Amino acid sequence: MMRLCKLLPLLELLMNNSEVVKRLSERLALSQREIRRLLRVITEVFKKTLDEDLSFTIPKFGTFGTHVRQKRKAYNPHHKTFVMLPPKRGVSFHPSSVLKGHIKAQSLDNE
């Protein structure tokens, strides 16, 4: 039964972009078209900010930032060769303690 309860949220499909847009337009009393445009601008600005090695925080939500994974040696078992992989950047998201608290409280409730 416990397992079934855990699976139930999966049955509802993920909240996709259009669902987010719908809710935001209800919340802010703006048209969905306008919200879509604004979201596009927001993600563009996020992208550029992250690309410039800057991190930023959205209050009560979390911090977005980037980290660099240095170049490293790897082994290709198929060709039996060692390969030097180039450095790579990743986007990190650290949820704020408020959001983490909500999630924790919910998972403890489910127990």
Partner 1 sequence: MSKKITFSDLVGCIADEAGVSKRVTHDLLKGMAAVVSEGLLRNGRVSITGLGIFKLKWRAARQGINPQTGEPIEIPAQNQIYFKPEAALRTFINQRYGHMKPEIIDHDIKPVPSIPKSKDSFFWRKRAALGWSAGLLALFLLMLVGMFSLFPPSYGPAPPVKETTQPQEARRYRIPIKVSTEKEEQIQPVPKPDPLPVSVGKPSSVHNVHQGESFWTIAKTIYTDPYLWPNIYRANLDVVDNPDVLEVNTTIYVPPLEGRVGSLSKKDIIDIIDGYVQVYLVYRRLNKTGARNYLWVAKQYNVPEVLEQYEDKIDASDRDFILRIKGSARIG
Query: Which 5-64 positions form the footprint of partner 1 (CB under 8 A)?
Result: 6, 9-10, 12-17, 19-20, 23-24, 27-28, 30, 35, 37-47, 49-51, 53-62
3 binds partner 1 (CB under 8 A): no
101 binds partner 1 (CB under 8 A): no
Amino acid at 27: R
Based on C-alpha coordinates, what's the Rg of the chain?
20
4 binds partner 1 (CB under 8 A): no
Distance CA 69, CA 72 (A): 9
Judged by CB under 8 A, which of 32, 33, 88, 97 binds partner 1? 88
Say how many C-beta atoms besides its own lie within 10 A of residue 53's C-beta.
10
